[in-house]
Amino acid sequence: MDTAIKTEKLVKHFGKGDTLVEVINDATFEIKKGELVALIAPSGAGKTTLLMMIGCVLTPTSGKIWLGNELVYDNKWLTKEQRKIRREKIGFIFQAHYLIPFLNVLENVILIPELNGVGEAKAKEKALELLDYFGIKDKADSMPANLSGGQNQRVAIARALANNPEIILADEPTAALDSKRSVDVVKMLKKIALEQNTAVIMVTHDEAMVPLCDRVLTIKDKKVYNLAIDEYKNRAIV
């Protein structure tokens, strides 16, 4: 499998001098396309910080980040187009769906490809294909307020896929869902990883989701460890 994400000695500090706080002190790992990886660590350990650095939202203190074959960060951003990288290479999914309430389902999904310069007809075709894939094509004209929590999360996932991303970063996507819907969403992310050849990193606190994933990233003493499922279950370092 091709590499989707690679980091080398990634570090993130906040503040300086007496107020300096070390959050991530050594993140060196590699994620392949087609993998669903759980990111599990205690609250405050730096899960979202790590995700936002990979997503080119938060600037690291030092280190290197590759997205695909492109070195995007080497102790500084190597392009001023971080926003373009986010739009073209990365899909974001959050705990809250953040759908635009005054746009219907279809309009929410076509928004990203249209921002990327895709024509309206092609963007609509792609959006309807995704909504059909997730079994909610019949809700295309519905407003988010008229959908269930699970349906809105499916729309949010469809929106994240609308730009054909190489990487999906999901920050607690199942936190607001019951256990059955949580399993459904994680199985959906696994299906996406395999069928779309996309790397998915999912932040979760739910240990029950681990067996559905391929690997686990975890953080201990500010270092990031990339573990096989069996290694994580054995709790060698956690």
Domains in the chain, please, with CATH?
A: 3-234 (3.40.50.300)
Which residue in the block uniquely carries the two structure tokens 């990365």? Answer: 90
DSSP alpha helix (H) spans, 28-171: 47-54, 82-89, 105-115, 120-133, 149-161
What distance in Å separates the CA atoms of residue 9 and residue 12, rounded to the nearest whole number? 10
Q: Of 213, 216, 102, 92, nearest to 157 (Cα)?
A: 92
Q: Which of 51, 152, 144, 129 is nearest to 92 (CA)?
A: 51
Residues of the chain whose pLDDT is less than 50?
238
What pLDDT, on the 0 to 100 scale, is given for residue 85?
87
* Number of Cβ atoms within 10 Å of the Cβ of 100: 12
The strand pair at 199-203 and 36-40 is best described as parallel
pLDDT at 26: 87
**pLDDT at 50 (0 to 100):** 95
What are the C-alpha distances in Å from 235 to residues 23, 27, 148, 226?
Answer: 22, 19, 37, 12
Tokens of 160: 């994240």
- What is the rounded CA–CA span in Å between residue 230 and residue 236? 10
Give the separation between CA 184 and CA 172, rounded to whole angstroms.
14
pLDDT for 110: 92
- Please tell me the pTM assigned to this model: 0.87
| Whether 167 contacts 91, CB under 8 Å | yes
Task: Please give the pLDDT value at position 119.
Answer: 86
The predicted structure's pLDDT at residue 185: 82
Q: In sequence order, what are the residues at sequence separation of 6 or more whose Cβ sits closer than 8 angstroms to the Cβ of residue 131? A: 105, 106, 109, 137, 139, 140, 155, 158
pLDDT at 235: 66
